[in-house]
Structure 1
């Protein structure tokens, strides 16, 4: 089945370029284009895409607010398009429900791979974006009491969450805990369900905000 994609960017040439690249692949179908955040929200509800390529800075409604509206009312996953890897909207976008970030000047193979990763339910968090998040957390006050939802996690799930928050892949987590990668995937899926998280990106944010992991550990 094709991965249905909606492209949201206020520059027509950018939208056309992304659409041309995606439509050239057998497993993609561009179902719509939006020139602003408000239109992106409306088209997401109308066409039910699997992935929305979302520009951060747009008129009428910016990409962050549009992402929050889309993730709250549809099953679409949002891949943010940024001009700079340290865009000031990165943290807000993750809180709004974005599943990943991609630079606009990324090669075409990175674009197609990123869309496939996000469509598959995983998250795309580049090292530069991770550093941005950590810098933001360092500036924040010490967290208070841990959320009650943490109490519902098993010891193993807590271990997996801590390693996940440090940027470990499933394979690396499995090697550290001496378990199979498929077992790690199961733990990740279960802890996300228990905590009400959409993906690994939100899991990372939760781990730092709840005090399970501290920047610099």
Structure 2
């Protein structure tokens, strides 16, 4: 079964280019391409869309507001494709339920992997986005993805294993990568993440990364 994708971008060159790129992968079916957030919301309400790829800056309705409505009213999973100057929208988009945040200048394979990851229930927060997030919220200076991320929260409510997992999530690791690194099953990793979500009242793992790096819930 193919992953059903909607593309929303007001730039026709990017919109149609993305359609061409995704159609080169057999695993995707591009259902449509629309010009603004309102059209994206309407389309997701009327059709069974698995993943909606949303630009941030669009006329009529931007990608952040579209994310909120799509999450509230449909089963579609929003993936934000953004540019370097859109970082002020990151926290709000994640708070509204965006499942991924990716830069437009990625190669096609990276975008393919992000769509696939979001479809299968994971959250995607590209390293450079996490770094810009730390910077914009006045947190610690950015570090490389191989360095230990700067923790901005009190870890006392969490077990040692939960703290390890939060650190790895903040480094952009997937559940599979975390399981391999800590020598535990993916089911056990998922259970730890559920415990972290319950303790923090957060909703998904991307919010865990932001909370760990900035100390901010939303």
TM range (shorter): 0.7 to 0.9
Output the CA distance in 1 between the equivalents of 2:201 and 2:207. Answer: 9
Find the counterpart in structure 1 of residue 167 from structure 2. 163
3-state secondary structure, aligned to 1:87:
helix
* CA shift digits 1:77-103 (9 cap, x unpaired): 111111227633222221221122222
3-state secondary structure, aligned to 2:87:
coil
3-state secondary structure, aligned to 1:42:
helix
| Residues 23, 30 of structure 1: 8 Å contact kept | yes
Shift of 1:162: 3.2
Trace 1:56-205 onto structure 2 (pairs within 5 A).
Answer: 56-84=56-84, 87-138=87-138, 155=159, 158-159=162-163, 162-167=166-171, 169=173, 170=175, 173-174=178-179, 179-189=184-194, 191-192=196-197, 197-205=202-210
The 3 A distance-change label for structure 1 pair 208 and 110 is closer
* CA shift digits 1:102-153 (9 cap, x unpaired): 22232221221111111111111111111122224436xxx9x9xxxxx8xx
Shift of 1:159: 3.1
Find the counterpart in structure 2 of residue 30 from structure 1. 30
Instruction: Structure 2 unaligned segments of length 5 or more: list them.
Output: 140-151
| Residues 52, 78 of structure 1: 8 Å contact kept | yes
The number of aligned residues is 205
The 10-residue stretch of structure 1 (197-206 or 61-70) with the greater mean CA deviation from structure 2: 197-206
The 3 A distance-change label for structure 1 pair 26 and 192 is farther
Instruction: Report the TM-score, using the length of structure 1 for normalisation.
Output: 0.77
Find the counterpart in structure 1 of residue 46 from structure 2. 46
3-state secondary structure, aligned to 2:30:
strand
Output the CA distance in 2 between the equivalents of 1:156 and 1:205. Answer: 19
Output the CA distance in 2 between the equivalents of 1:59 and 1:22. Answer: 24
The 3 A distance-change label for structure 1 pair 160 and 48 is farther
Output the CA distance in 1 between the equivalents of 2:117 and 2:102. Answer: 12
The 3 A distance-change label for structure 1 pair 43 and 198 is farther
Shift of 1:38: 0.8
Shift of 1:164: 4.2
Shift of 1:168: 5.9
